């Protein structure tokens, strides 16, 4: 089972991150085989961390909840909000396999689906996949639908995408079939920073 976890920094998030970063890195290293992607969202100028966003695979809800509860930053009060959702990966590779180039700018795109649009989403699925296909080889780090707790009903999407500017990502989202056809209540876009120690590929 795949899951997406968003952990939003609280008022002491920056202090907690500095204090517990080594424990955080060790904990994630110990669970490296569970990760599809991991990193942080930041302000557009890349100066302030806003949240941690991770995409993981575990056998059950109990396993992922235990993993999140024991994560050192979370355990020590770095976050004011923690949300775990079912997710399905749309790519065969993981973030560590993503082709990286100097100067890449990455973005976290979280679409929050309107209630009751699962069937309409199914009708648009092929158009959605066709729109994404040209971006898969060199631009998508991770992508996939957010699902209900049983993994059956579509409730939105969570994607990581490399594009040069905020204007580029805004235009990409505006042209996406789900967005064009009104399936989202809102779409959150934040700049994304790859996780791991300096120089580490995760």
Domain boundaries, the chain: 2-88, 95-192
pLDDT tens, position by position, 39-63: 999 999 999 999 999 999 999 999 9
pLDDT tens, position by position, 87-141: 999 999 999 999 999 999 999 999 999 999 999 999 999 999 999 999 999 999 9
pLDDT value at position 55?
Answer: 98
Cα-atom radius of gyration of the chain, to the nearest Å?
16
pLDDT value at position 97?
Answer: 97
Domains 2-88 and 95-192 share a fold: yes
pLDDT value at position 175?
Answer: 98
| Dist CA 198 CA 202 (whole Å) | 11
pLDDT value at position 108?
Answer: 98
Q: Is there a contact between 51 and 40 (Cβ–Cβ < 8 Å)? A: yes
Closest CA to 86 of 58, 126, 46, 121: 58
- The CATH number assigned to the domain with range 2-88 reads 3.30.70.1060
pLDDT tens, position by position, 23-45: 999 999 999 999 999 999 999 99
Reported confidence tier of residue 71, pLDDT bands at 50, 70, 90:
very high
Domain 95-192 has CATH 3.30.70.1060: yes
Q: Is there a contact between 128 and 176 (Cβ–Cβ < 8 Å)? A: yes
pLDDT value at position 112?
Answer: 98
pTM comes to 0.97
pLDDT value at position 34?
Answer: 98
Show the 3-state SS of the chain: CEEEEEEEECCCHHHHHHHHHHHHHHHHHHCHHHEEEEEEEECCCCCCEEEEEEEEECCCHHHHHHHHHHCHHHHCCCEEEEEEEEECCCCCCCHHHCCCCCCCCEEEEEEEECCCCHHHHHHHHHHHHHHHHHHCCCCEEECCEEECCCCCCEEEEEEEEECCCHHHHHHHHHHCHHHHCCCEEEEEEEEEEECCCCCCCC
The residues pairing with 86 across neighbouring beta strands, listed in sequence order, are 3, 147
Q: What's the burial of 51, exposed, middle or buried (CB within 10 Å: 0-12/13-18/19+)?
A: buried
Q: Which residues of 110-120 are buried (b: 16+ CB within 10 A; e: fewer)?
A: bbebeeebeeb
């Amino acid at each position: 089972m795949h899951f997406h976890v968003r952990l939003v920094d609280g008022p002491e998030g920056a202090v907690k991150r500095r204090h517990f970063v080594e424990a955080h890195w060790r904990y994630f290293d110990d669970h490296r085989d569970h990760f599809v992607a991991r990193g942080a969202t930041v302000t557009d100028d890349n100066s302030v961390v806003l949240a941690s966003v991770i995409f993981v695979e575990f056998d059950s809800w109990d396993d992922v909840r235990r993993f999140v509860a024991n994560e050192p930053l979370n355990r020590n009060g770095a976050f004011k909000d923690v949300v775990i959702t079912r997710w399905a990966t749309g790519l065969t590779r993981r973030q560590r396999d993503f082709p990286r180039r100097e100067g890449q700018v990455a973005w976290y795109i979280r679409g929050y689906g309107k209630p009751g649009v699962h069937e309409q989403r199914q009708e648009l699925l092929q158009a959605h996949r066709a729109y994404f296909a040209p971006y898969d080889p060199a631009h998508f780090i991770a992508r996939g639908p957010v699902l209900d707790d049983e993994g059956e009903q579509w409730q939105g999407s969570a994607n990581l995408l490399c594009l040069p500017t905020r204007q580029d990502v805004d235009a990409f989202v505006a042209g996406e079939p789900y967005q064009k056809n009104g399936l989202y209540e809102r779409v959150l876009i934040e700049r994304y920073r790859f996780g791991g120690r300096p120089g580490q590929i995760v």
